[in-house]
Structure 1
């Protein structure tokens, strides 16, 4: 798998927040529907104009034993922008060591495949484990249906 390990300081995000069920893989059905609604709204242009050029899908407060988690469609902003934003939810993504994986291909299938491989193949084969922080999907502008579309999956990690 194509990945790199990077240290990042905490940063601010603003965006739309949703409660998602992961029971029986429902998140693999519901999250693409959230993105479909998002993409047909004014939110993408508003968030692109506020952020640093990427839209981020953020899996917050997910735990292996929980049946739901908070999912945000957001963008990275400065602390001042996060404090002044009233239309969107503001959160802090904590400092972490991240394993950053590249996903290539049309969404959502290519991204969902990368997530499965991270948890079924990469974690068991490495000396790392999930650190319990939020997971990020970083989407760059482009045709998300193209065979060569690139995005990233950021997983917070720590040594076993």
Structure 2
């Protein structure tokens, strides 16, 4: 499995979030519906406008505040220093962490999530630590690549 380990300093993201079931199959249905809702309600266009990007540029996603039953799924992007954001958006402060980063050129992140937890973690020598997880998307619709970022530490 292709991956890299990187240390990153603290950063902030901003976006809109919804609550998603912790059940994997339910989440795989709820997440695409939430992303579609963010496209339809103008959240994605407004975020890209604030960032000076094309309106249909793909945004990232953060998965955080896991309760055991649900988690917050935020359609988001890096918050540039000094950018004022409207009240409809939420800020997410991310501490300095070590990340296991898994690239997926075909952007099939649902399958990759399963492989990371069933294949990589059991033999990697790493364990997950507290912190948000990310689905990082790069490109335009139809020409998108992705990565999964998971905060880790050596066992």
Name the TM-score class by shorter chain. 0.7 to 0.9
Check if 1:121 corresponds to 2:82: no
Distance 2:4 2:120 in 1: 12
TM-score by length of 1: 0.84
Distance 2:96 2:124 in 1: 22
Distance 2:113 2:23 in 1: 16
Please report the RMSD computed on the Cα atoms of aligned residues, expressed in angstroms: 2.1
SS of structure 1 residue aligned to 2:35: helix
Distance 1:99 1:127 in 2: 11
2:101 is aligned to 100
Please show how residues 9-158 of structure 1 align to structure 2 within 5 Å. 9-23=9-23, 25-51=25-51, 55-62=59-66, 66-81=68-83, 84-105=85-106, 110-144=108-142, 149-158=144-153
Q: CA deviation at 1:23?
A: 2.9
Structure 1 gaps, min length 5: none
Q: Does structure 2 conserve the Cα–Cα contact (< 8 Å) formed by 1:62 and 1:134? A: no
Equivalences, count? 151
